[in-house]
Chains A and B, each alone.
Chain A
Amino acid sequence: MVQGDEAGNSRDAPSSARINSPETHDPSDTSRALRAFLTENFLLGDDEIDEDTSLIGSGIIDSTGAMEVVAFLEETLGIAVDDEDLVADNLDSIARLTRYVTTKRSRSAG
């Protein structure tokens, strides 16, 4: 899902450091990259975020933020996110996002 959102606007796109290139498929790198992205762009204050914290349920992101997360997956991690993938099971915590990215990569590699 690519939409006319801020993430597509290079002038002020959220940080998207290429910590985890598509060539390195280590889930712990993916997890770290996601955490860095969320911390830099969303987390406010000094709160630590657990792997399993619900991003929506804890108020860390809202629906606009969810679109930014998807844009990060697509543009920085190189994942093609299908419409059917836009579900909380795939996207609503660092653990779920990591698992989703890992699964997508193993599928596209296979």
Chain B
Amino acid sequence: MKITDGSARLAHELLDRCADATPDEVALIDASGSHSFQEMATDSSRAAGWLQAHGVGRGDRVMIVAENSAMVVMWVFATLRAGGVFVVVNPTTKSDKLAFLLEDSGARAVIVGAIGARELVLALRRSPTEVVSVVWLDEVPAGSTGVASSDALASTDELRDPETIDADLAAIIYTSGSTGAAKGVMLTHRNIVHNAWSISTYLDLRSDDVVMCLLPLSFDYGLFQIFMGAHVGFCVVLERSFAYPYDVLTRMADLRVTVLPGVPTIFASLLSVAPFERLDLSHLRLLTNTAAALPPSHIDRLRDAFPGAQVFAMYGLTECTRVCYLDPNRLDDKIGSVGKAMPNTEVYVADPEGRPVPPGVVGELIVRGASVMRGYWRRPRETEEWLKPGPNQGELVLHTHDRFRVDEEGFLYFVGRSDDILKTKGEKVNPLEIETVLYELSEVKEAAIIGVPDEIDGTAIKAIVVARAEAQIDVRAVRNHCRARLESFMVPKYIEVSDELPKTESGKIKKTALS
């Protein structure tokens, strides 16, 4: 059923609205060029017809394993139009984990780019999956089944209305779980439309903004640039990485980028090449940071480097996309704060029984509102740990597992996490997942993963390993093993060989004694 009152209830209706209102405006710019809202709407309808004709029905999962490109966005919208649920996965994910994600999500179709291709082929061979269709964004690897994306786009399969409602699932976003296995955060269409509205409202994003997205679309903060762009009607420039900073900066100047969403790693890399003498970056008006706190010294340096830009310090988690933001005018008197709740969201700091605590007292941050996820995919027990009955009859609230305090004026301060999860380069990492990989090496007797302060990454991953008797540990071999087995952000930046690790009385490795 076509919407008639102008508001979008389903996530892909955001795109339709722009395609109706401003069909020729540029929605996306990537390495292949510019793509209008109309082009994205037309292509995604055609691809949705193809998906339906090739095994994807209402509620079915479509996994996308690819580096940032307009084609990824096109397939995200195609999945939604077909009535499916998209799962965007980091393209550096290795075959073991891909096999787990394919099985866990029960994906019916996989869309894969150049970087993920080899590992995906291995994953599909490894174990039986529910995958019936594979679409290759680049060339189809020799000996592989599946079709090229361009062929799917030439499809004449008619798109049937899947009768989606806004309570239906739209996305599963995998995040590190406390047991070591990734768990999928379920977001509905209503979650996505609401969160795109709320975040773009407090940031006051405009249709003439040009937003540069350096963050992977597998990361919800990258993904939401797309949905906010479709909500507001602005252009998103998709970058694949910040590996060659001067290229990115030159494009930022040429395209007159106005908004740069980032994580501390990106802003630290940016500052390492400042000042930008021969580049006109004066169009930048917003720098928005999330995932981990920006050190106050970096905030000051960013404001010096970009005098025309406002800096937004924010906090969020995949389970509800975003929680709060600090009004840039309060950066100087609320140092270290992540501000107050975003529009249409309520938060409070609670004691272990879930009761609000007075200002100044540290407790767990609780979030309530339309932003909160439906739960974890196929994980009822973990869902119960994160979504619990709140103060209102029949309502579940999100327990963030993050410790906060609030000041007398209601400003929020992040204090720490209540589990072992580390945050590096904006990504959540469970030390257990890396330690398990280290223990695969026969020469490793003991391994501990800790976070260490880092100028660029905020927290960097450090591995401390102990060799078995008679065995030698080659640091380079350890690093290459990690590279072969883990997503790139999980590969330890520092690897140290030690004679022994400190232990607690019960014999467990005492990480608090490591540095």
- By a beta-carbon cutoff of 8 Å, the part of chain A in contact with chain B is 1, 3-6, 9, 11-12, 14-15, 40-42, 44, 56-59, 61-66, 83-88, 91-92
Contact = CB atoms under 8 A, between A and B. Distances in A.
Contacts of B495: 12
Interface stretch (B1-9, B182-190, B243-251, B321-329): B243-251
Interface stretch (B52-60, B443-451, B473-481): B473-481
B396 interface: no
A56 B241 contact: yes
B476 A40 contact: yes
Contacts of A92: 244
Contacts of A85: 246
Given A3-B455, A65-B488, A83-B245, 14 more contacts: A4-B455, A12-B479, A12-B494, A44-B484, A56-B241, A57-B114, A59-B116, A64-B493, A66-B241, A83-B273, A84-B246, A87-B246, A87-B247, A92-B244
A83 B193 CA distance: 40
A9 B475 CA distance: 12
B381 interface: no
Interface of B: 91-92, 114-116, 240-247, 250, 269, 272-273, 278, 454-456, 475-476, 479-480, 483-484, 488, 491, 493-496
Contacts of B250: 87
A53 to B, nearest CB: 11
B243 A62 contact: yes
B485 to A, nearest CB: 10
Given A12-B496, A59-B92, A87 B243 contact: no
Contact of A66 (B116, B243, B475): B243
A11 B496 contact: yes
Contacts of B496: 11-12
- Secondary structure class of chain A's binding surface, majority of residues: loop
Contacts of B91: 59
Contacts of B454: 4
Contacts of B246: 83-87
Contacts of B272: 1, 3
A11 B243 contact: no
A98 B241 CA distance: 22
Contacts of A86: 244-247, 273
16 contacts: A1-B273, A5-B456, A9-B494, A11-B494, A12-B475, A12-B496, A41-B476, A41-B479, A58-B115, A62-B488, A64-B488, A64-B491, A66-B243, A86-B246, A86-B247, A87-B250
Nearest to B214: A63
B475 A11 contact: yes
A64 B456 CA distance: 10
A1 B249 CA distance: 15
A6 B494 contact: yes
A6 to B, nearest CB: 5
A56 B240 contact: yes
Contacts of A64: 488, 491, 493
Contacts of A87: 244, 246-247, 250
Nearest to B478: A12
Contacts of A4: 454-456
B200 to A, nearest CB: 27
Contact of A14 (B241, B244, B476, B484): B476
A91 B405 CA distance: 46
A62 B454 CA distance: 18
Sorted nearest first, the 6 A-B pairs with minimum C-beta distance are: A59-B115, A66-B243, A63-B243, A86-B246, A62-B488, A83-B273
A41 to B, nearest CB: 7
Contacts of B491: 64
A63 B241 contact: yes
Nearest to A4: B455
Given A5-B456, A11-B496, A83-B246, A44 B483 contact: yes
Contacts of A40: 476
